[in-house]
Amino acid sequence: MNYIVMDTEINGRVWKSADPMEVISIGAVKIRGEHIKSKKYKHELFYEYVKPVCAYTEYARKFTGIPRQTIAKAESFVTVIEKFKRWIGNEEYVFIGWSDSDKLVLIRDCKLHKIDDDWVDIYIDLQAYIKRYIPEANNQQVSLQNAVEMLGLEWMGKAHDALDDAINTAAIFMFLCKNKSGDIVQEFMKGSTCKVYRKCKACGKFYRSKSNRLNRAKRCNRCYRAAQASK
Ligand SMILES: [Zn+2]
């Protein structure tokens, strides 16, 4: 299992408009499961800019610091997503993000460009996890910068840069993994919403199933079979 810690920046603005606020950059860190076990981290990085369909806003330029020239030369969303999926590879993965907004903007842009979005939903919201399960957060939603400080880590790089935000989110994730011996997905999926991993109504375990029968029953394979056997 690979963990893909991901962040996006968008073509934001503060005024109302019918234009979509598209993704303009994607940064990601790949952490392999065996590196979590061995505590030897070797990061593989992904960083691409995306040329939006609508004009690059001055608001987004100031917020992200990405020069106009960089966006003008960037590739289209569809091309960058093809590259991103190739980089993710064929091994089983789960995305880790700070809040679910990166997941939602990617799904929205996939729909905008009429490409498949199923691959995005395999996603753990680390912000939601910290809010509920880290006592220092006091059940409050904390910003990425505040979480870094709260856990006694040091901020790396520049805020609102997709790659640096992903690197800092990865540092938090790995810090929290340090004392986890169990199944990482079982632990961190708590507090997230994900249509790919569902919570079993009987045993509470998160399960991944392509079978509609299990999804309708809202049970993992084991609990489903146990229920059938006792009938
Ligand atoms: Zn179960």
Determine the distance separating the centroid of ligand 1 and the alpha carbon of 221, expressed in angstroms: 7
Three-state SS across the chain? Answer: CEEEEEEEEECCCCCCCCCCCCEEEEEEEEEEHHHHHHCCCCCEEEEEEECCCCCCCHHHHHHHCCCHHHHHHCECHHHHHHHHHHHHCCCCEEEEECCCHHHHHHHHHHHHCCCCCHHHCCEEEHHHHHHHHCHHHCCCCCCHHHHHHHCCCCCCCCCCCHHHHHHHHHHHHHHHHCCCCCCHHHHHCCCCCCCCEEECCCCCCEEECCCHHHHHHCCCHHHHHHHHHHC
Residues 6 or more apart whose Cβ sits within 8 Å of residue 43: 29, 30, 31, 167, 170
- Mean pLDDT of the chain, nearest integer: 92
Q: What is the pLDDT of residue 183?
A: 83
C-alpha angle with apex 84: 171 to 66, nearest 5 degrees?
A: 70
Phi, psi of 54 (to 5 degrees): -85, 165
Q: Which fold has domain 2-193?
A: Nucleotidyltransferase; domain 5 (3.30.420)
Band of residue 78 on the pLDDT scale cut at 50, 70, 90: very high
Band of residue 102 on the pLDDT scale cut at 50, 70, 90: very high
Determine the distance separating the centroid of ligand 1 and the alpha carbon of 149, expressed in angstroms: 37
Determine the distance separating the centroid of ligand 1 and the alpha carbon of 176, expressed in angstroms: 25
Percentage of the chain exceeding pLDDT 70: 98
Distance CA 157, CA 77 (A): 25
Q: What is the pLDDT of residue 213?
A: 86
Q: What is the pLDDT of residue 144?
A: 96
The residues spanned by each domain of the chain are 2-193, 196-231
Residues 6 or more apart whose Cβ sits within 8 Å of residue 95: 4, 5, 6, 103, 120, 122, 123, 124
Determine the distance separating the centroid of ligand 1 and the alpha carbon of 187, expressed in angstroms: 15
Residues 6 or more apart whose Cβ sits within 8 Å of residue 186: 205, 206
Residue with more model confidence, 7 or 14: 7
pTM: 0.90
Distance CA 56, CA 54 (A): 7
Ion ligand 1, residue ranges at CB < 5 A: 200, 202-203, 220, 223
Lookup result for tokens 């990166």: 102
Q: What is the pLDDT of residue 214?
A: 86
* pLDDT tens-digit map of 158-175: 989 999 999 999 999 999
pLDDT of residue 41 exceeding 80 = no
Determine the distance separating the centroid of ligand 1 and the alpha carbon of 206, expressed in angstroms: 8
* pLDDT tens-digit map of 213-225: 888 889 999 999 9
In the structure encoding, which two tokens stand for residue 144, read together? 């990425």
Determine the distance separating the centroid of ligand 1 and the alpha carbon of 82, expressed in angstroms: 35
Residue with more model confidence, 197 or 106: 106
Determine the distance separating the centroid of ligand 1 and the alpha carbon of 93, expressed in angstroms: 21
Determine the distance separating the centroid of ligand 1 and the alpha carbon of 155, expressed in angstroms: 39
Q: What is the pLDDT of residue 173?
A: 94
Q: What is the pLDDT of residue 83?
A: 98
Mean pLDDT of 136-142: 89
Burial of residue 195, with CB atoms counted within 10 A of its CB: 0-12 exposed, 13-18 middle, 19 or more buried: exposed
Band of residue 212 on the pLDDT scale cut at 50, 70, 90: confident
Q: What is the pLDDT of residue 9?
A: 97
Highest mean pLDDT range out of 13-22, 65-74, 134-143, 209-218?
Answer: 65-74
Determine the distance separating the centroid of ligand 1 and the alpha carbon of 34, expressed in angstroms: 26
Q: What is the pLDDT of residue 179?
A: 77
Determine the distance separating the centroid of ligand 1 and the alpha carbon of 199, expressed in angstroms: 8
Residue with more model confidence, 180 or 69: 69
